[in-house]
């Protein structure tokens, strides 16, 4: 009986202890978020290479190219680089046909990459980008026409090495409170120094901040890998909340899990591989990095143990119900009910399960860095574009 009581009390205490450091980090980030200093508009538009890695994107590729060419930016300063990794749905030739007719003043090139993997393609691209700045995009994200202009203005500050956009958390229905807190924290980290977590849907980099460094091509989270690399090389990597992109990813929910596990895996690997960024040499970034390392690698396990410790006594309590005091079931049950009523708690717990799942796959040697595009998501994007 005492052991039952002790188990759930342990679970509750563990949950509070585990969540305290990330909660403090979040509050600090939230405090700083409003102090991010925005740059003036850029008077002269720097030359940009737009890197568009694609594999089997025939559904969305034309609309994506139109979106780029239609941006508020002098297209004579833009060169589009499509990296096609052995698509089997003619993505490359569709892109070529479309660019021949519609590229306008933008120059363009289509490179075929034999080996699959977005990070492989990206590393190759880094070897032949000729401009000082490049922008990377996902084929399946929708961007506002101001994106290139807003991104490029940041590079007037020579200390900025990378900038990314922000997922519009008001659109669709995917876990709002959690997503908007995620966004606030990324901006807060950017104001303090840099954010280690980047959005590959739209991001831009200064070539000299990358130098000869390359990312791990056997892993994904290429976006966050690049953000960490840029910071390692002494430049800042920030999220600009004025650059909002949109993904209609919430209308259906089954796909989500495999996609989220894949992303969690890449991010966990990136945090582990870069764990030396916790060193004091990296100033304020060291504490941002440590906090995210903890949140992605350790916290999910602590919170899982804690939930199991609260659940087990309920289970055993119910088995022996009349003998055991009702409070043995009622108290932990009430705590779980309160937790699951909060969307943020559900978001944190759900995210932790995804991370634990991704760690188990990693530990058993299964890497998810090669994947098929989600056709449903692509069709939803297409519908969205047609409607707007």
Binding site for ligand GDP (CB under 6 A): 53-55, 57, 83, 85, 113, 116-118, 121, 138-140, 259, 263, 373
Please tell me the count of residues contacting Mn ion according to CB under 5 A: 2
Smallest gap, in angstroms, from Cβ of residue 245 to ligand GDP?
A: 11
Q: Which does 46 bind (CB under 5 to 8 A by kind): Mn ion, ligand GDP, none?
A: none
Nearer Cβ to ligand GDP, position 7 or 265?
Answer: 265
Give bridge partners of residue 245 from the DSSP assignment.
Answer: 167
CA distance 234 to 161: 8
- Where is 245: in which H helix or E strand? strand 236-245
**Alpha carbon 301 to chain centroid, angstroms:** 21
Among 331, 323, 309, smallest CA distance to 3 is for 309
CA distance 317 to 330: 9
Helix 299-319 vs helix 2-33: angle between axes, to the nearest 10 degrees? 150
Nearer Cβ to ligand GDP, position 139 or 261?
Answer: 139
Nearer Cβ to ligand GDP, position 55 or 359?
Answer: 55
Q: Is the dihedral of CA 274, 280, 283, 289 positive or negative?
A: positive
Nearer Cβ to ligand GDP, position 137 or 293?
Answer: 137
Q: Are β-strands 107-113 and 160-167 bridged in parallel, bridged antiparallel, or unpaired?
A: unpaired
Smallest gap, in angstroms, from Cβ of residue 381 to ligand GDP?
A: 10
Does the protein bind Mn ion through residue 249 (CB under 5 A)? no
Smallest gap, in angstroms, from Cβ of residue 138 to Mn ion?
A: 4
CA distance 258 to 359: 13
Among 276, 298, 300, 272, smallest CA distance to 286 is for 276
Q: Are the CB atoms for 125 and 54 separated by under 8 Å?
A: no
Smallest gap, in angstroms, from Cβ of residue 152 to ligand GDP?
A: 21
Block residue for tokens 């900038």: 163
Q: Are β-strands 78-85 and 160-167 bridged in parallel, bridged antiparallel, or unpaired?
A: unpaired
Block residue for tokens 């966990």: 268
CA distance 199 to 245: 10
Residue environment code for 139-155, b if the CB has 16+ CB neighbours within 10 A, otherwise e: bbbbbbeebbbbbbbbb
CB contact set of 32 (below 8 Å; sequence gap of 6+): 188, 189, 191, 192
Reading the block at residue 235, the tokens are: 């430049």
Q: Which does 135 bind (CB under 5 to 8 A by kind): Mn ion, ligand GDP, none?
A: none
CA distance 368 to 361: 9
Smallest gap, in angstroms, from Cβ of residue 262 to Mn ion?
A: 11
Q: Which does 54 bind (CB under 5 to 8 A by kind): Mn ion, ligand GDP, none?
A: ligand GDP
Binding track over 109-138 against Mn ion, x by CB under 5 A: -----------------------------x
Nearer Cβ to Mn ion, position 343 or 383?
Answer: 383
Nearer Cβ to ligand GDP, position 144 or 373?
Answer: 373
Smallest gap, in angstroms, from Cβ of residue 315 to Mn ion?
A: 40
Does the protein bind Mn ion through residue 140 (CB under 5 A)? yes
Nearer Cβ to ligand GDP, position 92 or 188?
Answer: 92
Q: Which does 63 bind (CB under 5 to 8 A by kind): ligand GDP, Mn ion, none?
A: none
Residues 154-213 that bind Mn ion (CB under 5 A): none
Nearer Cβ to ligand GDP, position 121 or 184?
Answer: 121
Neighbours of 158 (CB within 10 A): 10
Smallest gap, in angstroms, from Cβ of residue 26 to Mn ion?
A: 26
Smallest gap, in angstroms, from Cβ of residue 255 to ligand GDP?
A: 9
Smallest gap, in angstroms, from Cβ of residue 167 to ligand GDP?
A: 10
Nearer Cβ to ligand GDP, position 22 or 116?
Answer: 116
Q: Are the CB atoms for 24 and 42 separated by under 8 Å?
A: no
Nearer Cβ to Mn ion, position 138 or 189?
Answer: 138
Smallest gap, in angstroms, from Cβ of residue 141 to Mn ion?
A: 6
Q: Which does 269 bind (CB under 5 to 8 A by kind): Mn ion, ligand GDP, none?
A: none
Q: Which does 347 bind (CB under 5 to 8 A by kind): ligand GDP, Mn ion, none?
A: none
Would you tell me which residues interact with Mn ion (CB under 5 A)?
Answer: 138, 140
């Amino acid at each position: 009986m005492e052991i039952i009581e002790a188990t759930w009390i342990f679970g509750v205490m563990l949950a509070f202890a585990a969540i305290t450091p990330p909660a403090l980090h979040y509050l600090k980030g939230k405090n700083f978020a409003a102090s991010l200093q925005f740059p003036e508009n850029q008077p002269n538009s720097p030359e940009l290479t737009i890197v568009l890695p694609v594999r089997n994107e025939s559904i969305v590729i034309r609309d994506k190219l139109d979106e780029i060419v239609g941006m508020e930016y002098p297209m004579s300063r833009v060169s589009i680089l499509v990296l096609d990794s052995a698509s089997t749905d003619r993505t490359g030739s569709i892109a070529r046909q479309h660019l021949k007719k519609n590229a306008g003043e933008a120059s363009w090139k289509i490179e075929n990459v034999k080996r699959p993997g977005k990070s492989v393609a990206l590393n190759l691209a880094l070897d032949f980008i000729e401009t000082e700045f490049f922008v990377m995009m996902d084929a399946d994200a929708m961007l506002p026409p101001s994106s290139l202009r807003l991104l490029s203005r940041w590079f007037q500050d020579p200390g900025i090495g990378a900038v990314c956009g922000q997922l519009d958390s008001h659109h669709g229905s995917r876990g709002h409170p959690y997503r908007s807190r995620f966004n606030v924290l990324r901006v807060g980290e950017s104001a303090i120094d840099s954010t280690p977590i980047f959005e590959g849907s739209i991001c831009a980099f200064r070539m000299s901040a990358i130098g000869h460094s390359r990312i791990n091509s056997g892993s994904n989270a290429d976006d966050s890998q690049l953000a960490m690399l840029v910071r390692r090389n002494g430049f800042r990597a920030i999220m600009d909340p004025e650059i909002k992109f949109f993904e209609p990813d919430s209308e259906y929910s089954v796909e989500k899990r495999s996609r989220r596990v894949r992303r969690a895996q890449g991010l966990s690997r990136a945090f582990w591989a870069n764990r030396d960024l916790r060193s004091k040499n990296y100033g304020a970034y060291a504490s941002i990095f440590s906090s995210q390392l903890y949140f992605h690698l350790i916290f999910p396990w602590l919170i899982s143990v804690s939930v199991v410790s609260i659940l087990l006594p309920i289970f055993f309590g119910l088995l022996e119900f009349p003998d055991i005091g009702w409070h043995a079931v009622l108290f932990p049950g009430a705590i779980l009910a309160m937790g699951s009523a909060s969307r943020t708690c559900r978001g944190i717990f759900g995210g932790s399960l995804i991370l634990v799942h991704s760690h188990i796959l990693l530990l058993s040697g299964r890497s998810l860095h090669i994947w098929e595009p989600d056709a449903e998501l692509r069709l939803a994007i297409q519908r969205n574009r047609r409607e707007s």
